Structure 1
Amino acid sequence: LLALASRGHDVTVVNSYPQPRPVRNYTDINLSEDFKTVYFNNIPFDILPQIPASFLDNHLFLLSQIEDNEPTFSHPDIKRLLNSDEKFDLIITELWNSDVFLGFAHTFKAPVIVMSSCSILPWGNARFGNPDNPSYISNTFLSRSGKLDFLQRLVNTCQLVVSRLLYKFFFNHLSERIANRVFGDSLPPLEDLALNTSLLFVNTHHTLHGPRPISPQVVQIGGIHVKETKPLQEDLDRWMNES
């Protein structure tokens, strides 16, 4: 996003980690105060190993997070944005546990790109026509990758089907209620908006996650967070080379 701003694009970012100093063409809508009591310094690291991480626990956790999106839409700057005449060429949001933020794309009549910080979740492939055949492609919640035996394929298939059903009838149902309250009853179904997503950037790389077929709309960007190296300071470089 900073790179977009540096190239002359006007960027508005809704986030909880605002820039420490003003950046040209870059506007933060700061949600840190709204989410401080929910996420910041709220979970001690020493209890993380004790948190259940079964297939069902993961889905219950993701489901419980959907209502945490509500404070975003209650923020005064978000309300002003939704009631403004702002124009956007592109909306970038996340593919996670809810499609509720796709309402921004409909409101501003802009194409949308989604990003996934992990491998594609089971409900994320169909909207891009991305292959997810469970006979040889492990879903995100399967603690196994690579070649699968028969039992692993069976578990993988069941998890894929159950994940999709849970998303359709529970996750998406709750998201629809929130979206209709925020964007109005005229908002198309979130499932339809999801099918209009233009592109997915996914934080994976074949060297770590193994090879798999992907559709043209899916782009792997694993490692994008790695910045270009900068030359050492002259005195430090001289000390290193002359040692």
Structure 2
Amino acid sequence: MLFVNVCVILGLFTPVYGYKILGLFPHKGKSHYDTYEPLMKALVAKGHHVTVMSHFPQKKPLKNLTDIDIRTGDYLVNVINLEDITGSRLQRYLMPPFLAYVGYGTCSEGLSHANFKNLTNSGHRFDVILTEFFNTECFLNDLNRYQAPIIGISSCTIMPWDDFTVGVPSNPAYIPNSFMPFSDTMTFLERFENTISYIFCLGVFEFLIDIPGRIVASGYFSNSLPNLKKMAANISLMLVNNHFSFTFPRPLPPNYIEVGGIHVGKLNEPPMVS
């Protein structure tokens, strides 16, 4: 009888194996964070302790979710018209430099924020890190100190410069630049412009994103210019809010996982019609 009671008591205790997870989302765009927030909450629901650094802390505290607020000003809400991306040729070529400009502000404001510095100096350890890959990589220099696997995540199809960073094949002969209105069957002139647009985006990344980001990061971490591209290339996984049914066929490495619709919650059942 004693043996049975002991077994019953032990059965009431279920072991929980939770990880300490850091989510770093320094971009001010609310639509971007709306993609990542459901994932962070789902990790909390699975029993993990999640620390989220962003501009959008929870309005109501959530158990096992620690918000680190790095707000410095207004959100980027209703300030970018999607027609600017799908509009004229000039608008399409102006968008990469504009994103680089926004990314530079993200670096300088985020790295200098007191709450970011407090986390950096706190000595906290994390088992895994999730961070956005969009228009800057300057935060990777700090994340590297945690010696934890880094998972990149994107709220949309990744930027052309990230194709080369994470090792996604991008042959401009049949893979259209995401800023261009082409399909996977292009004419010679379209292929030529598609190639030029890839080269242009790589130039924007090198001179307006990577080099400025390295300079800003070196100023806050007291070291020589960090090799951010090498750090980005060593990420363990890339989660992309995209789906092949919405884009054109292309080869993808095994660490590139499409998670289109990750931000969509549970759908309500339609009412029964009598």
Using structure 1 for the length normalisation, give the TM-score: 0.85
Identical-residue share of aligned pairs (%): 34
Are residue 14 (structure 1) and residue 57 (structure 2) matched?
Answer: no
- Secondary structure at the aligned position of 2:189 is classed as helix
Using structure 2 for the length normalisation, give the TM-score: 0.76
Counterpart-to-counterpart distance in 2, 1:224 and 1:64: 28
- Structure 2 unpaired stretches of 5+: 1-39
Counterpart code for 2:76: Y
- CA 217–44 in structure 1, closer or farther in 2 if over 3 Å, else same: closer
The match for 1:106 among 130, 141, 144 is 144
Match of 2:22 in 1: none
CA contact (8 A) 2:237 2:255 kept: yes
Q: CA RMSD in A?
A: 2.4
CA contact (8 A) 1:89 1:110 kept: yes
Structure of greater relative contact order (alpha carbons < 8 Å, 6+ residues apart): 2
CA contact (8 A) 2:149 2:235 kept: yes
Matched length:
231
- Superposition deviation, residue 112 in structure 1: 0.9
Match of 1:149 in 2: 187
- Superposition deviation, residue 241 in structure 1: 4.3
Counterpart-to-counterpart distance in 1, 2:67 and 2:114: 13
Match of 2:233 in 1: 195
Counterpart-to-counterpart distance in 2, 1:118 and 1:40: 17
Matches for 1:1-243 after TM superposition, within 5 Å: 1-32=40-71, 34-36=72-74, 39=76, 43=79, 54-69=91-106, 70-185=108-223, 188-230=226-268, 240-242=272-274
- Superposition deviation, residue 81 in structure 1: 0.4
Counterpart code for 1:18: P
Counterpart-to-counterpart distance in 1, 2:124 and 2:159: 32
Counterpart-to-counterpart distance in 1, 2:268 and 2:237: 31
- Secondary structure at the aligned position of 1:79 is classed as helix
- Secondary structure at the aligned position of 1:125 is classed as helix
Counterpart-to-counterpart distance in 1, 2:118 and 2:255: 32
